[in-house]
Chain A
Amino acid sequence: MATLEIRDLHVSIETDQGSKEILRGVNLTINSGETHAIMGPNGSGKSTLAYTIAGHPRYTVDSGSITLDGADVLAMSIDERARAGLFLAMQYPVEIPGVTVSNFLRTAKTALDGEAPALRSWIKDLRGSMEALRMDSSFAERNVNEGFSGGEKKRHEIVQLELLKPSIAVLDETDSGLDVDALKIVSEGVNRVKENTGLGVLLITHYTRILRYITPDFVHVFVDGRVAEEGGPELAERLENEGYDRYLTGSTVG
């Protein structure tokens, strides 16, 4: 049982025009087994939240806290956060020339477990996960994300989720750029991991479509750097019909 707790989080970035505040007091608690959906307009700070949880150096935390089972996440380096059980499926996965998928995954698994995985079961797990996400086995010998299509990159993120077994995962627009079949395959992958490991999920999305496959326990409306409203799955339906206008009137945009 893991709990990720975000309290009054304020985050800014350095721009050419000086420091710019993006997150303005985010509060969120995610427990193992729970699925939280975050929906919000472009530029509202969703990816900023995701990257801040993962520890991207571009973002400065001005105040507030992030803890995982009470441990101070903000004091941890990027890789320490991963080893503590956090995972970020990125909106734009990065290409790494010359590093094969199989080498990358084995290195990551070894780093997370503190020892190299037993070869036979590892190969079996890798094959199984790639097969389940309909990634041809030839991807294992290709360089990480290099030349992958948008959808292939996203499926590769979920292969990692399945193999690396984090306790809490942030999925940043994993559904964007997926065709209807891939959306189903990816959703099934996430559900399988949830079932097997009790994963807690923070799912950032623009579309209710994925929420038909991955049922959220909570939906948070993210506007202008903070959570503007919280509710159950019905809130997502309402957003789909009404848009974000209701939240934007009166607040400054951009």
Chain B
Amino acid sequence: MQQHPHGPGSPVPVQTRNERFASAAHDDFPAVTGRELEWKLTPVEKIRDLIDGELDGSAFPAEVSSAPGVTVEWVAMDDARVGSAGLAEERAAANAWSSAQQALTVTLTSEEAVAVTIDRAGADRAPRAAHTVITAAPNARGIVVIDNRGSARLTENVEIVAGAGSDLTVVSLQEWDAESVHLSSQFARVDKDARLKHVVVSLGGAIVRVKPSVHLAGSAADGQLLGLYFADSGQHLEQRVYVHHIAPQTISRVTYKGALNGAGARTVWVGDVLIGRDATGTDSYEQNRNLVLSDGTRADSIPNLEIETGDIAGAGHASATGRFDDEQLFYLRSRGIDEQEARRLVVLGFLLEVVQKIGAPELEQRLIAAIETELDAVAVV
């Protein structure tokens, strides 16, 4: 596999993220032309209705599992919790923000680890808006899985607050049906000594665009951002990651891995890391790797690293997109494993590296099965 590691000093295109305009009002953003940095890798013509059209802002159907120390409420958009982790940074997110009539709030207060599932089995094909706020109170621990299945045409904002000393995992799982379109801006604020593990898994849907932006706001806040995607023929899976190191001694690790198979399979990964002026002693590393399984695919992989302080513990990034590693296949086959099985092992292993880091055994098993199903469709080249 080809490697393009850059050191922090190497010339990398830089886009200043902290000056990006944010607002809850759709009209505050200029019309989208499709040439903007934000949109130029996205098939905007296919999502005009979500960017600019009228949206159904009623509650997006979801069932939330109950667990001790977890409160679930639908609240009005003027509730204090709304806007506590971020604000829309582009027009589709703002359209969702201004259209949503209520927000689903899930609040974790238990210091014993709890598991919550926001089960979304989909809706009709009408364009919709949604707003969700997931909060871990100080020192709370738990995992929240947003389990997206069925059909949807959805633009949404998800806010995540990891209070001081909390340990929160949020998984956004996209297993939509083949026609679904999903735009999801996810804003996280990680307070002092808190740990957030944020996981994006995109397997199903025609167009899925997830934008996690994580603000390490308190000292020693720790953000681990994981992503896994598998694009089949005709699928557009886009992930735009932003990590803002605001406070000193903050840590971030970004690991996104993708596989592409079939004509027109398309993935985008943009990873912006900004180490702010006050974020001294921070340590960050981001990487994206894509495995190309057939002809006719396209993977964009764009890391950006911007450092505003001279005093950091470490910062690096790597990005690689390549075909199968022939040496890996040779090694496996030289032990008697046939070509198809060897390829299956290599791809599964490649993606499992991310799955293994989620830390939720049941979910991991389910994802392995889902990836195996994807792999059944991969022809031996």
Contact = CB atoms under 8 A, between A and B. Distances in A.
Interface of A: 54-57, 77-79, 81-83, 87-88, 90, 93-99, 103-104, 107-108, 111-112, 143-144, 160, 164
A97 B349 contact: yes
Interface residues of B, number: 25
Interface in B337-374: 337-339, 341-342, 345-346, 348-353, 356
Nearest to B349: A98
B255 to A, nearest CB: 12
23 contacts: A54-B330, A54-B334, A57-B326, A78-B330, A79-B335, A79-B338, A81-B334, A83-B336, A94-B325, A97-B350, A97-B353, A98-B353, A98-B356, A99-B345, A104-B345, A107-B345, A108-B336, A108-B337, A111-B335, A111-B341, A143-B349, A143-B353, A144-B331
B339 A77 contact: yes
Contacts of A108: 332, 335-337
B330 A56 contact: yes
Contacts of B36: none
Interface string B313-337: 0000000000001111011111111
Contact of A112 (B328, B330, B336, B352): B336
Contacts of A83: 336
A94 B328 contact: yes
Interface of B: 325-328, 330-339, 341-342, 345-346, 348-353, 356
B346 A79 contact: no
Contact of A96 (B341, B349, B356): B349
**Which A-B residue pairs are the 6 nearest by beta carbons?**
A98-B349, A82-B336, A98-B352, A108-B335, A78-B333, A99-B349
Contacts of A87: 334
Given A97-B349, A98-B351, A160-B335, 7 more contacts: A57-B326, A79-B336, A87-B334, A94-B327, A96-B349, A111-B335, A111-B341
B337 A93 contact: no
A164 B331 CA distance: 14
A111 B337 CA distance: 5
A71 to B, nearest CB: 16
A143 B331 CA distance: 14
A107 B346 contact: no
A98 B335 contact: no
A98 B346 CA distance: 8
A96 B351 contact: no
Contact of B334 (A82, A98, A99, A103): A82
A112 B337 CA distance: 8
Contacts of A94: 325, 327-328, 330-331
A82 B345 contact: no
B330 A57 contact: yes
A96 B328 contact: yes
B349 A93 contact: no
A39 B252 CA distance: 50
Contact of A104 (B332, B352, B353): B332
A98 B333 CA distance: 17
B275 to A, nearest CB: 28
Most chain-B CB neighbours within 10 Å: which of A57, A95, A98, A103? Answer: A98
B228 to A, nearest CB: 11
B258 to A, nearest CB: 14
* B336, B349, B356: most-surrounded residue (chain A CB, <10 A): B336
| Central interface residue in B325, B339, B349, B353, by most chain A CB within 10 Å | B349
B332 A96 contact: yes
Nearest to A112: B336
Given A57-B330, A107-B341, A111-B341, A96 B335 contact: no
A96 B336 contact: no
A79 to B, nearest CB: 4
A96 B331 contact: yes
Nearest to B352: A98
A41 to B, nearest CB: 25
A57 B333 CA distance: 12
Max chain B C-beta neighbours (<10 A), residue from A77, A93, A95, A99: A99
Given A77-B339, A112-B336, A98 B350 contact: yes
Contacts of A57: 326, 330
Contacts of A81: 334
A99 B334 CA distance: 16
Nearest to B355: A98
A2 B332 CA distance: 23
Contact of B337 (A54, A56, A79, A95): A79
B13 to A, nearest CB: 28
B338 A111 contact: yes
A110 to B, nearest CB: 9
Q: Which of B330, B334, B348, B350: most chain A Cβ within 10 A?
A: B334
B302 to A, nearest CB: 23
A56 B353 CA distance: 27
Contacts of B336: 79, 82-83, 108, 111-112, 164
Given A98-B356, A111-B338, A111-B341, A79 B349 contact: no
